[in-house]
C-alpha cells in the first residue's frame, strides 16, 4: 500500500480542475512569516512503509503494559482480568458494525445489546434509567452538569474536592462554554460530605464522587438531602464501576444523576482508551438525558423487538433541540462491557468485588507496616492514598527500578495542593500477594 498513491500527472489534473497552479496556491491567505521555510527540524524525510513500520515498532517497544511487572496504578483506569471469551464475542460477525443502528429492522442484534447494557447499568447503579453509553466517564460528568442546569434552570455547579481532576477539567470546559459557573472545592481525601454545607439556592447541582479520587467511599445520602432542600440535584460520580457490586449504589442514596466510567468491566486499559461512559438518572428526568435510549417494543406481527426510543443528539433532531451536540455511544466498548457483565452475573460480580477489596486491604496493611508510611484513606474499596517521608515523584521513580509501578502521585493530579508526598495506589483481583509483598519490600528499601 502506498502512502502517496497519486502520481505527478494525477496531481496536475486535480490542480487544473480546481484552477490552481500549484499546491502553494492553497496557502495564499497564510502570512509568509508564518510559513515554514524548511522541514521541521528533527523529523525524518518520508520513508517506505517497511522502514516506517520498523521505526514505529521500536517506539512502541518502549511502552510498558500493565501486565509487564507489578502494577498498582488506578485513579480512573484499572487493570482487571478480561476473559478471553469477551474478545471472541466482540469479534463475531454479527457485531462488526456496532455503531448507531439507524435501521432497526436490520440491527436487532446491536439494539438488543444496547438494551441489555442499559439494563445492567441501571441495575448496578440502582437508578431508574440508563442511556446507551457516552464517550467516557469525564464527558458523562460534564453532560450531567449541563443536564442539571437544564432541569433546574439554574447556572451554578459545585464540584467536590474528591472529584477526579480530569472529570473536573472536562466539566469546566463544557460548562464555561455554556455560561455555567463552576465552583471547585479544594482537594480533600475525605471531604465529600462538605458538599452539604456548600449547596445554596443558586446551585443547579453538586457533584460528588464515591469512591473518590483518593479511594474514599462515602454515603452521599446526607448530601442528597441537603441538595434537595435547596432545590438542587445531586450528581454522583464513580471511576471504578466494579465497586458498585459491594458499596451502596447511587440509587439508594437519593442521587438524581449517576455517571461514571465502565472501563473496569470488559474494556482493557489500552494506554488510555477508548473507554465507555455510563450515564443514569431518575426516570422523571428522562427527556433531559443526553445520548440514546434503546427501548423494547412489538413489531407488526406482535413479536418482541428493539428500537431507538429516544435520540436527543443533534444528528437525530434539530441542533437547537438536542440535549447534547457531542455525545455518542461507545458501541464496541459497550458490547465488551455487556459481554463481560453477562458472563459474571450477580454471583460472579460479588466474588470479583470481594477479591478487589481483600487485595486492597492486604495492600494497605502491608504498606502501613513500612516505616514512615501513613495510610490516609479512611474507607476504601480497592484504592488507597498514603503518605511517605520522601517526595512521591522520587519514590515512584525509585520503585520503578525495583520493577514496581507504585501508583500515581497526588501532586500530578492536584498541582500546588501540598500533596507532594502522597501516592494513590490501587489493587485489583489481578494483584497477587507476591506483588504486594514485593511492593512493601521495595518501598521499605527506597525509604531507608
CA distance 171 to 188: 19
What are the sequence ranges of the domains in the chain? 70-79+346-446, 84-341
CA distance 410 to 391: 11
How many Cβ atoms are within 10 Å of 430's Cβ, its own excluded?
A: 16
**Gap between the terminal Cα atoms of the chain:** 56
CATH topology for 70-79+346-446 is: 3.90.1150
Query: pLDDT by residue for the chain (448 residues), tens digit each?
Result: 455 678 889 999 999 999 999 988 988 899 989 988 888 887 777 788 899 899 999 999 999 899 999 999 999 999 999 999 999 999 988 776 656 676 777 788 888 999 999 999 999 999 999 999 999 999 999 999 999 999 999 999 999 999 999 999 999 999 999 999 999 999 999 999 999 999 999 999 999 999 999 999 999 999 999 999 999 999 999 999 999 999 999 999 999 999 999 999 999 999 999 999 999 999 999 999 998 899 999 988 999 999 988 887 666 666 677 788 777 778 899 999 999 999 999 999 999 999 999 999 999 999 999 999 999 999 999 999 999 999 999 999 999 999 999 999 999 999 999 999 999 999 999 999 999 999 999 999 999 9
Task: Tell me the three state secondary structure of residue 46.
Answer: coil
Please report where in the chains the cell 522520587 appears, as a residue.
394
SS (H, E, C) 224-252: HHHHHHCCCEEEEEECCHHHHHCCCCHHH
Strand (E) or helix (H) holding 310 = strand 304-311
CATH topology for 84-341 is: 3.40.640
pLDDT of residue 1: 43
Any idea what DSSP says for residue 352?
H
Amino acid at each position: 500500500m502506498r502512502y502517496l498513491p497519486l502520481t505527478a500527472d494525477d496531481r496536475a489534473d486535480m490542480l487544473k480542475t480546481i484552477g490552481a497552479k500549484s499546491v502553494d496556491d492553497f496557502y495564499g491567505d497564510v502570512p509568509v512569516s508564518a510559513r515554514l521555510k524548511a522541514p521541521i527540524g528533527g523529523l525524518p524525510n518520508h520513508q517506505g512503509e517497511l522502514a516506517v513500520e520498523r521505526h514505529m515498532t521500536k517506539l512502541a517497544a518502549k511502552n510498558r503494559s500493565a501486565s509487564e511487572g507489578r502494577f498498582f496504578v488506578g485513579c480512573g483506569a484499572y487493570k482487571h482480568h478480561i476473559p478471553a471469551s469477551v474478545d471472541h464475542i466482540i469479534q463475531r460477525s454479527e457485531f462488526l458494525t456496532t455503531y448507531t443502528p439507524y435501521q432497526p429492522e436490520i440491527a436487532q442484534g446491536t439494539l438488543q445489546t444496547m438494551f441489555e447494557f442499559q439494563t445492567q447499568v441501571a441495575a448496578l447503579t440502582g437508578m431508574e434509567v440508563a442511556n446507551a453509553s457516552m464517550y467516557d466517564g469525564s464527558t458523562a460528568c460534564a453532560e450531567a452538569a449541563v443536564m442539571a442546569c437544564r432541569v433546574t434552570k439554574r447556572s451554578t455547579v459545585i464540584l467536590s474536592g474528591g472529584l477526579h481532576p480530569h472529570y473536573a477539567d472536562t466539566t469546566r470546559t463544557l460548562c464555561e462554554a455554556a455560561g455555567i459557573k463552576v465552583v471547585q472545592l479544594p482537594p480533600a481525601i475525605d471531604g465529600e460530605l462538605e458538599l452539604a454545607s456548600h449547596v445554596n439556592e443558586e446551585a443547579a447541582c453538586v457533584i460528588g464522587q464515591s469512591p473518590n479520587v483518593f479511594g474514599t467511599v462515602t454515603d452521599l445520602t446526607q448530601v442528597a438531602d441537603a441538595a434537595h432542600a435547596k432545590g438542587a440535584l445531586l450528581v454522583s460520580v464513580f471511576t471504578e464501576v466494579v465497586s458498585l457490586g459491594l458499596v451502596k449504589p447511587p440509587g439508594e442514596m437519593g442521587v438524581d444523576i449517576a455517571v461514571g466510567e465502565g472501563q473496569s468491566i470488559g474494556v482493557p486499559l489500552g494506554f488510555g482508551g477508548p473507554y465507555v461512559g455510563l450515564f443514569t438518572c431518575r426516570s422523571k428526568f428522562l427527556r433531559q438525558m443526553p445520548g440514546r435510549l434503546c427501548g423494547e417494543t412489538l413489531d407488526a406481527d406482535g413479536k418482541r423487538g428493539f428500537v431507538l426510543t429516544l435520540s436527543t443528539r443533534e444528528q437525530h433532531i434539530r441542533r437547537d433541540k438536542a440535549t447534547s451536540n457531542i455525545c455518542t455511544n461507545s458501541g464496541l466498548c459497550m458490547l465488551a462491557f455487556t459481554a463481560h457483565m453477562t458472563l459474571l452475573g450477580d454471583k460472579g460480580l460479588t466474588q470479583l468485588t470481594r477479591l478487589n477489596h481483600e487485595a486492597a486491604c492486604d495492600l494497605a496493611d502491608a504498606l502501613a507496616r513500612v516505616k514512615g508510611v501513613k495510610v490516609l484513606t479512611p474507607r476504601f474499596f480497592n484504592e488507597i492514598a498514603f503518605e511517605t517521608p520522601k517526595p512521591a515523584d522520587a519514590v515512584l521513580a525509585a520503585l520503578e527500578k525495583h520493577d514496581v509501578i507504585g501508583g500515581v502521585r497526588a501532586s500530578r493530579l492536584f498541582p500546588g495542593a501540598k500533596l507532594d508526598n502522597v501516592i494513590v495506589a490501587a489493587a485489583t483481583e489481578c494483584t497477587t500477594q507476591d506483588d504486594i509483598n514485593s511492593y512493601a519490600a521495595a518501598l521499605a528499601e527506597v525509604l531507608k
